[in-house]
Structure 1
Amino acid sequence: MKTNNRPRPDVYKMVTERIISALEKGVVPWQQPWRNSGLPQNLITGKVYRGINLWLLLSLGYSRNFFLSEKQLEAIGGKVKEGEKANIIVFWKQITIDDPDTTETKDYPFLRYYRVFNVEQCEGIPEDKLSKVDETIHNDIVSCEDVYEQMPKKPKLQHKGDKAFYNPLLDFINMPAKTQFPKIEDYYSVLFHELIHSTGHLSRLNRKELLNMSEFGSEPYSIEELVAEIGCCFLKTVVGIGNNDLENNTAYIDGWLKSLKNDHKFIVFASSQAQKATDYILNTCIQKEDESITETDGGNDSTF
């Protein structure tokens, strides 16, 4: 019997290379606008992609952000246009392994990737499928102020001086007055960033990167700042504030590129933590991403 000795693909590396490629072109995936094209979602199930998948698909720049697997496409009578290449998305799964020494079982997370196509890469899709209109899925959040007001166990918010920061020891956020910002959107952008930091508090998500980020430039500091940056963009996406307004992009991009090249798990982990922080703030219990494609389209994995 022949054995397949091909090494498993490094899913983390694949995702990271996609992000690096975008950053090197000056495109920050988590800052891409979405209002005109809708949030990326599966054409068949209607479920919106989350976490790193949101940014992987949004950064592709399609005018219609509906995606589906090749199996799903074939099931509705469509096919992929000649020459089109698949886009990668990823899902976390668990594998249970027996420990021969202790006779106990342990669960290990691993990352699987799957291939999807945008509807613009396909032909033969029935018009009734293409007529879907993206209605915002965040109806419970009606204003920027609601994001803070509806947050469970929210930290104290005070307005003093001209510095914005979160104090994890005393669990409060300090913000300059709204009148000190050029635009009201700028105020909420900074507030959302600090709110994401606050989710790492011991009484909330107990994120170790927040608790160990005292040294500027350290690994915990870099991860926590990226978690806050991506989480802030998640929240701005919810309320409809533009995400492509980061000042001094070059300096930020250089720092992110360095971290991404040093650790292939960096962006996947940071995105996952940012999604958890966002879900906590919005007090949501959102269904996991649609994994129906996993039963029909195979997949490839990397063990954590």
Structure 2
Amino acid sequence: MNVYEVINTRIMELLAQGTIPWRKTWNATSNQPKNLITKKDYRGVNVFLLACMPYSSPYWLTFKQAQDKGGFVRKGEKSTPVVFWKWLDRRDANVEGEETVNGNGKIPMLRYYSVFNLEQIEGIEPPPTTEIVHQFTPIEQAEQIIAGMPMKPNVHYGGNRASYSPMLDVVKMPKPEAFETPADFYATYLHELTHATGHASRLGRKGILEPSYFGSHEYSKEELVAEMGATFLCAHAGIEQPIIENSAAYMQGWLRNLKNDKTLLIHAAAQAQKASDYILNRSGCDDDRVTDTVTE
């Protein structure tokens, strides 16, 4: 497997985990990953690959760097690939019949390395960090909606990623203080809870437990359901205005992938209403009709 395949595979894995990884309205410590030993920031696609991982520490090391520092990677921990590339001089690059990338005898050298987050390593003390903390004031109506959800999944706080695992029936959320605003926290939380309504123990939404690839019909529809459900619930909590524009842009991106399916939005809206009714613990959440999806 070449470098491009390794990175593309990793990106596709990240995209298949329930939400767009780079769609963040929070910052747990620093979203700029860096190597613990060299203190250099990772750049390019490496920022995406590392910042998407569920760790709050910005520090990363190779296996050897961890050993040299006196630490060890915990058993069972998996590495994350990063790319390294630079231009090399090639003395024979102008030999007849050969071509150079930029015409001046330079060729690119591209490699990938496996790194581990500091949270995956024991025996190394983390350096002092300044955690980014925002003022967080709970929104009472939103709290009531969340508390009233029947059979609410387990929720784990911490790290730098929001996601829902259908297999574990667990929602992962950054701490509330990591979000830029309380509205952003609740919009993200309700998005993940809407995903959770599709679990077999709740509404049993088709496709929630079935493997699907990024951009597939079922994957895209589920993202639309989750975002529309979150938007409905935010409206019930009185915080729709701060997030409605972002939600519309987010949903528009998914609809572009499904422009040939003219019924998708209608069906997604019906499922989103069922999901929001379930979270609100209202009767009639088994009704597939789309009536009253929007109220004035």
TM-score by length of 2: 0.46
Greater relative contact order, per chain length (Cα 8 Å cut-off, separation 6+): 1
